[in-house]
Structure 1
Amino acid sequence: MSKRILENPFIELQGVTKAFGRTPVLQGLDLAVARSEVACIIGPSGSGKSTVLRCINALTPVDSGRVEVAGIRVDSARLDAQALRKRVGIVFQGYNLFPHRTVLQNVMMAPIQVLGRERSEVEAQARALLAKVRLTGKENAYPGELSGGQQQRVAIARSLCMQPEVMLFDEVTAALDPETVKEVLSVIQEIAAEGMTCVLVTHEMRFAQEAADYVYFMDQGRVVEHGSADALFRAPQDARTRAFLDKVL
């Protein structure tokens, strides 16, 4: 599969390999995302999708290949990982909220402790973000008092409060019931519509069709097919892509 060529990619992976022990997970992977683009990565479980996001955010070091995000060489031995993560937010399937902190405190902690920003400024932004994710009135609640969908929206607000340039979403709806899936996906669509560069690993094919500008289909650690959401879903070219979509659509 030929790789995507962008004149000025905001995120670019070239020839990336990663193995855990003797198990290869990424095998010469190429991927590119433009600024303000919404890219979805789809494919069967175990194909390496989540590992791609972790490599972009330097949570998982690559074995070989090149990873560049917003002009930062992520694969460099001299990488300042903290500086990268100020610019690249990630939201996981698990909400990872502090259970002994209120919703507002969860959202405010990192900008104050990591970025050293003024508490009053951060609190104003945090309250505005909680309103954006439709959680006004829940500022003083604790995570255990919220539904799964509400906790996931807190996690999104917390990541946005770091004012990132890129948002990565790793199967953020996998543990949610259908009603709360819609709540979370609508928030992500609003974020994307405002121009945030977003990369999502998702099993929500309808969302990928509607919200993505570009889609990558992965299988066995490789990109099998890529293209615009319309082209890939309407007329997939590879037999593996067609077989996968036949199962999930």
Structure 2
Amino acid sequence: MNVSAWTPDQPIVSLKDVHKSFGDLEVINGVSIDIMKGEVICIIGPSGSGKSTLIRCINALNDIQSGSITVEGQEVNSPDLDKLALRKKVGMVFQQYNLFPHKTALENVMMAPIKVLRRNQADAEKTARALIKKVRLEGKENSYPGELSGGQQQRVAIARSLAMNPDVMLFDEVTAALDPETVKEVLVTIKELAADGMTCILVTHEMGFAREVADHIYFTDRGVIVEHGPPDTFFDKASDPRTREFLSQIL
């Protein structure tokens, strides 16, 4: 299916029987997930269960051995994939903020629109200021990353990703490196994005947050989806022993 054939009544992201190995180690073993436009999906599970690898495959940061991943109808695993075009559509925020330390918050957010989207300086700055306001960092435009808390840096990273005007946002354990006080401000930012209708796919260990914002939760273990469902069903009526054991350890 080519890109133009995609319509919003079809999944915006679709994974079908995805397999991924690193050498002899199979980290994703036949995963299938459909995500509709505007949905918020949380992927949870123990360390090493393939969660981060899975969302990196959606953005073509990792290739897959077999199966299919499509974003808006475009096959991500295709040899003629335009990775730049894909990454304009699919924003990604990592556990580490990866900001440029010698550029201000404003410059960090402006950089990709100018270099990649070829926006003019004035337009890029206007958009960047609006996004910094959106992530509630007004007044920090001229601060350098080293002058910002971890939570503030992570919100700049979110603004930077949004500056590319993506259709889908991937979040990979974005609060894992933060102290408890700053976790909340980042989660509030993501919650507001979700409320605005952004399609969000999150790998997270924040269960309260997952219960609150997710439309659907997937529990992965050893590279397979063990169980999935809407939050109320998932947390209150988990049927698989592995899911129940995992939840009993963290709730």
TM-score by length of 1: 0.96
Q: How far apart are the structure 1 equivalents of 2:190 and 2:240? A: 29
Shift of 1:61: 0.5
Instruction: Tell me which residue corresponds to 2:87.
Output: 85
Amino acid at match of 1:179: E
Give runs of ≥4 in structure 1 deviating > 3 Å: none
Q: How far apart are the structure 2 equivalents of 1:22 and 1:201? A: 24
Select which of 91, 94, 97 maps to 2:96.
Answer: 94
Q: How far apart are the structure 1 equivalents of 2:74 and 2:188? A: 30
Secondary structure of residue in 1 paired with 2:98: coil
Q: How far apart are the structure 1 equivalents of 2:21 and 2:179? A: 33
Select which of 137, 140, 144 maps to 1:138.
Answer: 140
Q: How far apart are the structure 1 equivalents of 2:161 and 2:35? A: 20
1:217-236 correspondence to structure 2 within 5 Å: 217-236=219-238
Instruction: Tell me which residue corresponds to 1:4.
Output: none
Q: Give yes or no for the alignment of 1:70 onto 2:78.
A: no
Q: CA RMSD in A?
A: 0.7
Secondary structure of residue in 1 paired with 2:99: coil
Amino acid at match of 1:26: I
Q: Which runs of 5+ in 2 are unaligned?
A: 1-8
Q: How far apart are the structure 1 equivalents of 2:179 and 2:25? A: 33
Number of residue pairs matched by the alignment:
243
Instruction: Tell me which residue corresponds to 1:45.
Output: 47
Q: How far apart are the structure 1 equivalents of 2:25 and 2:42? A: 25
Instruction: Tell me which residue corresponds to 1:248.
Output: 250
Secondary structure of residue in 2 paired with 1:179: helix
Q: How far apart are the structure 2 equivalents of 1:69 and 1:227? A: 22
Amino acid at match of 2:30: G
Which digits, 9 at most, give the CA deviation of each residue in 1:52-98, with x for residues without a partner?
A: 11000000000110000112110111111100000000000000000
Which digits, 9 at most, give the CA deviation of each residue in 1:115-134, with x for residues without a partner?
A: 11121111111101101111
Select which of 104, 108, 116 maps to 2:106.
Answer: 104
Q: How far apart are the structure 1 equivalents of 2:138 and 2:228? A: 39
Secondary structure of residue in 2 paired with 1:36: coil
The percentage of counterpart residues that share the same residue type is 63
Which digits, 9 at most, give the CA deviation of each residue in 1:193-228, with x for residues without a partner?
A: 000000000000000000100100000000011111
Select which of 142, 149, 152 maps to 1:150.
Answer: 152
